Structure 1
Amino acid sequence: MYLPVVATYRQGERIARETLVFALSPDRVATLQPTRHYPIFDKAIARMRRTPRLVQSSYGVMYALVYALNEAAERVIHHASDLLEEMSDQIEEATLGYDRRGREIGVTDMQGTISRMNRAEEIVSSTQESQLSLARAARHLRSEIADTDPVLAGLVETLIADIDGVKEHASFEHDKVRYLQQAIMTSLDVKQNQIVKVFTIITAVFLPPTLITSFYGMNFTRMPELEWELGFPWIVLVTLVAAVIPLVYIKRRGWLR
């Protein structure tokens, strides 16, 4: 029986993802792996030393190897969860719209946080795929054991439950990442809409004075206001009133909130 699995594990600050293949028979198990010494399987070797009965059959060895891969995936999920916790303050600031100094947060300020969140989502998605392949391998192993070794069959049943538990944890973290991404993008969209609203209000306030000045910028031969002694103060007053009227209207409509 040939069982391909996807291994996801943490290597320092880097998350590695590789495909392994198990060849399982009743008397032996072989692995197709990237290197002769595969660090993940050190945990499997240690478990077999603690439980010598596992090395009495190829199924026990296979159980220990799959168990080690599941533990490696679980550590990856905890790493992704820690990344999200480290970004919690920045995410809260983005949601509120201001940093600790009271300065408004823009899109540029959140690029680093958004990039790290995308990385966390990629890690979680890779782990979900790994758990699907591990669950398949563990179920095939359980079917091969059948009733020949009830103790080992019970261990494999527990392993299947653990694999499903890690997969559910990964699904929870994936939903969390998506929610936080949506919260940040919504906050930034609201901020951009506020900026557009400010420019719209400024345009509305200065449009009537601009219209008045455009009239008096025309080269007409006869303009009575130019010969009037109070012409300039009068035009200034009319321009000021024309600017205040839209502002009062906008304020009464509640568009400044």
Structure 2
Amino acid sequence: MIRSILRNHASLSIVQGLPQAEHDSEVVWLEVNAPTTEESTSLQRRFGIETAPKSSSVVEDGNFLYMRSKLLALGGNGTPSFGDVTFALGEQVVAILSDDADFRPFEVALQRLHRKPASTHSPKGVLRVLLQMANDGADAVIDRIADELEKSTEEIDEISDGYDSSGKELGVPDLIETMRSLNEKEELISLCIEALLSLARAVRYLSGEVDNVSEAELQAVVNELAADVAGVKEHAYFEHEKVRYLQNGVTNILNVKQNQIVKIFTIITAVFLPPTLVGTFYGMNFAVMPELSWEYGFIYSMGLTLTAAILPLVYIKRKGWLR
């Protein structure tokens, strides 16, 4: 599937598929998703673009500079999506190659190019806009993760207190669910960092293609883009560290709660062990048991059992083990 963006004077237009051959000089951007054999042949014959997978992340064949990158985008339903794309930068056209027919991170790129028509004067300018949009998409995903981490922090605080806002008691199952959510966020942020690293590499190679003298204005905005990518990357690292901190916090709370559960069962065992021992004595089949003939033998045995239960409880409380 191919989508062509053509420049005709100051306006841009979209053509599904390749345009007529006489309009090839007007093409500034080609978006290629899972091309067919026929489409790949046409791209090679008319533009010199190779759609076959490249052996390394950066390849130059004399006509095009191919840069493979991982990109992420925030879908309309708020779900982040990741995909591999290859930027092909040539003298007359820039192309985006992807093997995924459904991964389209630049659906709204045409709107930005319409607002900034000067960016379409060269393939390098178009690529700079596309890389800027990719960086903005990564920033949006990280901002969403940051908002979710704030909610996770509140949940962890409630679980550490033992009760939520409605008074429901929270325990180990709630912590396990929170830990699972944090693990998913850590994986997501790791993918974001990987995407930003590949994006920074593409920006660096684009900067190397720009002429500092004849394209001084473009060089300035590319340098700004490099700084923006570095800033988003730092934000991603910060959120990753925050996730790791929250994971450690949840693990510590989980250990404390599990230790409390073990302590409770240990105290219960310590309290009921002496009464069990008393009951065991009276369960023996001795021939002579004087208490059976006493008038208050039953009350005596109950008092003995109760005392055997209270004494360990008093000892444990004085030691502070109930706190």
TM-score, normalised on structure 2?
A: 0.72
Answer yes or no: is the 8 Å Cα contact 1:41–1:65 preserved in 2: no
Partner of 1:207: 273
Look up the equivalent residue of 1:155 and give its one-letter code: V
Partner of 2:124: 59
Q: CA deviation at 1:36?
A: 9.3
- For 1:180-195, what aligned pairs fall within 5 Å after superposition? 180-195=246-261
Q: CA deviation at 1:234?
A: 2.7
Partner Cα distance (1:133, 1:37) in 2:
17
Partner of 1:5: 69
Answer yes or no: is the 8 Å Cα contact 1:20–1:32 preserved in 2: yes
Answer yes or no: is the 8 Å Cα contact 2:172–2:257 preserved in 1: no
Q: CA deviation at 1:204?
A: 0.4
Q: CA deviation at 1:48?
A: 3.2
Picking from 83, 87, 93, the partner of 2:148 is 83
Q: CA deviation at 1:97?
A: 1.5
Look up the equivalent residue of 2:66 and give its one-letter code: Y
Aligned residues, how many? 256
Point out where structure 1 has 5 or more consecutive residues left out of the alignment.
Answer: none
Picking from 234, 251, 254, the partner of 2:317 is 251
Point out where structure 2 has 5 or more consecutive residues left out of the alignment.
Answer: 1-64
Picking from 112, 131, 134, the partner of 1:47 is 112
Answer yes or no: is the 8 Å Cα contact 2:69–2:195 preserved in 1: yes
Partner Cα distance (2:210, 2:281) in 1:
94
Picking from 18, 31, 50, the partner of 2:83 is 18
Give the helix-richer structure, 1 or 2.
Answer: 1
Partner Cα distance (2:115, 2:166) in 1:
55
The RMSD of aligned alpha carbons is 2.3
Partner Cα distance (2:154, 2:271) in 1:
38
Greater RCO (Cα-Cα under 8 Å, separation 6 or more): 1
Identity of aligned residues (%): 46
- For 1:104-143, what aligned pairs fall within 5 Å after superposition? 104-110=169-175, 112-143=177-208
Answer yes or no: is the 8 Å Cα contact 1:209–1:243 preserved in 2: yes
Q: CA deviation at 1:88?
A: 4.3
Deviation string 1:82-134 (CA, Å, 9 cap, x unpaired) is 22234443232112121123332023345554444333333222111110000
TM-score, normalised on structure 1?
A: 0.89
Q: CA deviation at 1:246?
A: 0.7
For 1:180, what is the secondary structure of its paired residue?
Answer: helix
For 1:119, what is the secondary structure of its paired residue?
Answer: helix
Give the strand-richer structure, 1 or 2.
Answer: 2
Answer yes or no: is the 8 Å Cα contact 2:70–2:82 preserved in 1: yes
Look up the equivalent residue of 2:245 and give its one-letter code: Y
Answer yes or no: is the 8 Å Cα contact 1:97–1:187 preserved in 2: no
Partner Cα distance (2:111, 2:296) in 1:
98
Answer yes or no: is the 8 Å Cα contact 2:131–2:199 preserved in 1: yes
With 197-206 and 92-101 compared, the bigger mean Cα shift is at 92-101
Answer yes or no: is the 8 Å Cα contact 1:5–1:134 preserved in 2: yes
Q: CA deviation at 1:195?
A: 2.0
Answering whether residue 201 of structure 2 is matched by residue 152 of structure 1, we say no
Deviation string 1:161-214 (CA, Å, 9 cap, x unpaired) is 111111111111122222223323322332222222112111101101101111
Change (3 A) 1:251 1:67: same
Look up the equivalent residue of 2:298 and give its one-letter code: F
For 1:5, what is the secondary structure of its paired residue?
Answer: strand
